[in-house]
Amino acid sequence: MKKIGLFIFDHDLRVLDNPALKVLADSVDTLICLYVHVPQDAFSQQFSQTQPSAAKLGFLQQHLVELDENLRLLNQFLVIEHGSVPSVVSNYIKHYGITDIGRTIHAGFNEQHHWQYLQATFPAVKFCAHSGSSLFRLADLPFELADLPKSFTPCRKLFEQLTVPAPLEALTYLPPPLLSTEHKKHDLKPSAFNRYYNGGEITAHAYLHHYFSSKAPSIYKETRNALMGDDFSTKLSGFLAHGALSPRQIMAALKRYESTQGANESTYWIYFELLWREYFYWYARKHQQRLFSAGGVRQKSLATSFYPSRFKQWCEGSTPYPLVNALMRELNETGWMSNRGRQIVASCFVNELELDWRYGAAYFEQRLIDYDVGSNWGNWQYLAGVGPDPRGGRHFHIKKQAALYDPNNAFVTFWQGDKHCQAINHTDMVDWPIGAL
């Protein structure tokens, strides 16, 4: 019997070091490579109050174009559909007689739920999912997933005892496509690309080489809290989020750098940040829907609410705080924000504006080019005090942060954060003035 494979690309938009793709390719006679543009679900529509930004969509398009280019080098091509994954995949199974389906394991609740639904609906189809978005496999962990430590530090110490596996050898073969190129249902126009950040597997490897050919890794710990400049951040998060690079590929590049340039506290800190990402990957896998609940994994009651006018000010960058405004304007324009910046604007959202953290997390989801479900929602929980922070939340003093990280007002001036300041409107959750009769 001829085996017909369907590989579902998601947050693994690469050909290299893609275990799930390799396993499926070795198992089938013909193959369809599929990506599904998924519409916003009801939860995202409720909390984000917006659609994905042009910068975010453009960055994704760049990844899809370069994935298609790399697939063509192996005599394959990418098919793009729009709709829900269960609906699209169900139609493919019925229409093309799919016998085998592969994908990379995703940490998100919806993605896991969709996979389980398809498995239950089509028991005759062989489903195969493999790790590819994390440093370690579930079987590698020195604890059961249910026993994931409640905070990062004890988990990090356990992670550091493990050896990160090397990336796979380069993929040299994919089965021929079942479909003709007439089924290539996408038109990716360069004009729609992100003007600030380039995406895609080809670009990612060129950038990885550039970064680790510089001195930046050796001073990363000293520069990582900057708000702007060249190479102050690794800028690898966008490639990781879309899967143009695997964390194992970055780890391998880091080890090569340390072997030639020497290891120090800064190079360790790059590994440290990869472990933070790893922790939130497993955090999302463990906690599932609780990642999105108001009380977080702690099920803690918070004295925050939703004030539409305040939320609008924060989103637009018109709060009373110039630094917050500048950071939000950068995010809205480019789809990116520094790690320090994210902490500052999230702290303002929860503490100064007293807003429900989920609205901020959902807005980030629609704006960030490096959105990752575990890192985004886990970090927001951490800062709001309903997640893995043993201290119960963080509050960053905005003026102090500005003095430390933008002492000359260069960042605020560049993004015109001081030109859009407005006082906080004192209204209740339905925008009715507080104290009005």
Q: Which helix (H) or strand (E) holds 221?
A: helix 220-223
3-class DSSP state of 26: coil
Sequence-separated (6 or more) residues with CB below 8 Å from residue 148: 155, 282, 283, 286
Measured CA to CA, the distance from residue 326 to residue 331 in angstroms comes to: 9
Tell me whether residue 437 is exposed, middle or buried, using C-beta atoms within 10 angstroms of its C-beta: 0 to 12, 13 to 18, 19 or more.
exposed
Other C-beta atoms closer than 10 Å to the C-beta of 301 total 9
Query: Is residue 337 within 8 Å of 327, Cβ to Cβ?
Result: yes
The torsion of the CA quartet 28, 31, 32, 35, rounded to 10 degrees, works out to 70
235 marked ligand binding residue: yes
280 marked ligand binding residue: yes
275 marked ligand binding residue: yes
User: Number of helices (H) and strands (E), helices first, in the chain?
Assistant: 18, 5
**DSSP readout, 279-297?**
HHHHHHHHHGGGGGSTTGG
371 marked ligand binding residue: yes
| β-bridge partners, 79 | 34
Sheet with 78-82: list strands edge to edge. Answer: 78-82, 30-37, 4-9, 100-104, 126-130
432 marked ligand binding residue: no
Structure tokens at 257: 């750098």
196 marked ligand binding residue: no
213 marked ligand binding residue: no
222 marked ligand binding residue: no
185 marked ligand binding residue: no
Structure tokens at 37: 């543009």
278 marked ligand binding residue: yes
363 marked ligand binding residue: no
96 marked ligand binding residue: no
Biggest CA pair distance of the chain: 76
233 marked ligand binding residue: yes
370 marked ligand binding residue: yes
The string over 175-187, giving b where at least 16 C-beta atoms fall within 10 Å of a residue's C-beta and e elsewhere, is: bebbbeeeeeeee
428 marked ligand binding residue: no
Sequence-separated (6 or more) residues with CB below 8 Å from residue 409: 402, 418
Through-space distance between the first and last CA atoms of the chain, rounded to whole angstroms:
76
Residues annotated in the binding site for FAD, as ranges?
A: 220, 233-237, 273-281, 370-372
Residues annotated in the binding site, as ranges?
A: 220, 233-237, 273-281, 370-372
